[in-house]
């Protein structure tokens, strides 16, 4: 694990860490071959985190944690010497890509940053689930490109300011383990995030991104009433042409929260509204179908699922559950067929779902016939 382990690409890996000895070796091993240097900002580790980073040849700086993620990340960026910067968290691993693909990405002169796909593993009722998000984690080393936000910090806005072609999508994927229940409990993420958000909202109470983040926190931990109180106002008066990246996720979370509360009419109204704007978002079609099923409108639910299947997998820029538009929609359609007593058709849909993912919710499938809320799945565990 010496500096010779590094690759030769003109990329600085920049990270902030604290007590990450469990995940850091795998993270650095996955990324080091694609970077020329590693910058680690340690916010107060008491384990072997710093020693592990130094063993990989990283430059390690220790700072005092100020409950502000963007500030800590930007300290790391200031230390980078390479033309491009890659940002990872310790509980993420970089999926390998051919060097030629990296070289092509970094040679795009008009591009200032890339959206990469984060695949977050979460605990489902019968095994692992996965949520995908697109975030800007690979960008040029430019002093004008910096993170903003005390929590759920982002650099995409700074990159996008360079023009319509400045921010693009890249075939780079990260595997994220930090949303598993045991990890969130160990890190006391719920208490930390609420503390940071309340402080930020006291300074900027009308900030929609902060309000979305607070609604997401309550949604994640199943506080449905509070989630609705924070999320619903974000959609009232939204410009039909607005392109805020979080709005599609607001619709999705709000629909599921209202459904969990039994407020089905409101959930349906928001689903119809959201689908007018985000018709290529299969998760929304599936959420709409789940609401229709709870009102015993199986025919309409089936139609909604046909649309989800026609859409297929979600475009990268959506926060989407793995399998939406494919095997998840097939499974749901099979369940709808059962509700209609069309057993052969149900069997065909279940077989089609299992042909794509053989181990999909085998335990959950047995419960689905008896559970009116069976299709929340991993959505309550995202973000």
pLDDT digit string (tens) for the chain, length 383 residues:
444 467 889 999 999 999 999 999 999 999 999 999 999 999 999 999 999 999 999 999 999 999 999 999 999 999 999 999 999 999 999 999 999 999 999 999 999 999 999 999 876 554 567 889 999 999 999 999 999 999 989 999 999 999 989 999 999 999 998 665 665 566 677 888 999 999 999 999 999 989 999 999 999 889 999 999 999 999 986 655 555 568 999 999 999 999 999 999 999 999 999 999 999 999 999 999 999 999 999 999 999 999 999 999 999 999 999 899 999 999 999 999 999 999 999 999 999 999 998 877 654 443 333 333 343 433 333 33
All CATH 3.90.550.10 domain ranges in the chain, comma separated: 3-180
Fold of 206-381: 1.25.40
All CATH 1.25.40.10 domain ranges in the chain, comma separated: 206-381
Task: Report how far residue 356's alpha carbon sits from residue 351's, in angstroms, rounded to the nearest whole number.
Answer: 9
Task: Report how far residue 199's alpha carbon sits from residue 38's, in angstroms, rounded to the nearest whole number.
Answer: 31
User: Quick one: residue 315, left, alpha or beta (phi over 0 = left, psi -120 to 50 = alpha)?
Assistant: beta
Closest CA to 283 of 310, 313, 254, 260: 313
Task: Report how far residue 12's alpha carbon sits from residue 199's, in angstroms, rounded to the nearest whole number.
Answer: 32
pLDDT, residue 148, reads 95
pLDDT, residue 223, reads 95
- The verdict on pTM exceeding 0.75 is yes
Task: Give the tens place of pLDDT for each residue, 220-245.
Answer: 889 999 999 999 999 986 655 555 56
Task: Report how far residue 257's alpha carbon sits from residue 231's, in angstroms, rounded to the nearest whole number.
Answer: 10
Quick check: 23 and 186 in contact, CB under 8 A? no
pLDDT, residue 271, reads 98
Task: Report how far residue 217's alpha carbon sits from residue 69's, in angstroms, rounded to the nearest whole number.
Answer: 16
Closest CA to 118 of 104, 130, 127: 130
Task: Tell the CATH superfamily of the 3-180 domain.
Answer: Spore Coat Polysaccharide Biosynthesis Protein SpsA; Chain A (3.90.550.10)
């Amino acid at each position: 694990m010496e500096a010779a382990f590094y690759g030769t690409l003109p990329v600085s890996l920049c990270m902030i860490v604290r007590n990450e000895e469990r995940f850091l070796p795998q993270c650095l091993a996955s990324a080091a071959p694609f970077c020329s240097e590693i910058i680690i900002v340690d916010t107060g580790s008491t384990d072997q985190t710093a020693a592990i980073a130094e063993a990989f040849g990283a430059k390690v700086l220790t700072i005092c944690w100020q409950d502000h993620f963007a500030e800590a990340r930007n300290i790391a960026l200031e230390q980078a010497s390479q033309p491009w910067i890659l940002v990872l968290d310790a509980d993420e691993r970089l999926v390998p890509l051919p060097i030629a693909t990296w070289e092509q990405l970094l040679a795009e002169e008009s591009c200032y940053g890339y959206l990469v796909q984060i695949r977050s593993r979460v605990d489902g009722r019968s095994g692992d689930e996965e949520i995908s998000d697109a975030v800007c984690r690979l960008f040029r080393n430019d002093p004008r490109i910096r993170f903003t936000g005390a929590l759920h910090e982002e650099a995409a806005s700074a990159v996008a300011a360079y023009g319509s072609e400045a921010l693009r999508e890249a075939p780079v994927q990260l595997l994220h383990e930090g949303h598993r229940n045991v990890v969130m409990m160990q890190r006391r993420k719920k208490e930390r995030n609420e503390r940071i958000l309340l402080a930020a909202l006291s300074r900027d109470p009308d900030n929609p991104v902060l309000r979305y983040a607070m609604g997401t926190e309550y949604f994640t931990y199943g506080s449905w009433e509070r989630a609705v109180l924070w999320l619903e106002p974000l959609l009232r008066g939204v410009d039909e042409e607005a392109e805020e990246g979080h709005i599609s996720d607001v619709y999705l979370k709000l629909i599921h929260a209202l459904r969990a509360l039994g407020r089905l009419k409101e959930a349906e109204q928001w689903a119809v509204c959201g689908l007018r704007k985000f018709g290529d978002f299969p998760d929304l079609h599936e959420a709409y179908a789940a609401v229709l099923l709870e009102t015993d409108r199986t025919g309409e639910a089936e139609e909604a699922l046909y649309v989800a299947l026609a859409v297929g997998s979600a475009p990268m820029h959506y926060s989407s559950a793995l399998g939406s538009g494919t095997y998840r929609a097939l499974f749901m359609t099979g369940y709808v067929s059962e509700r209609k007593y069309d057993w052969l058709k149900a069997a065909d849909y279940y077989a089609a779902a299992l042909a794509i993912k053989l181990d999909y919710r085998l335990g959950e499938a047995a419960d689905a016939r008896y559970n009116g809320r069976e299709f929340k799945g991993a959505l309550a565990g995202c973000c």
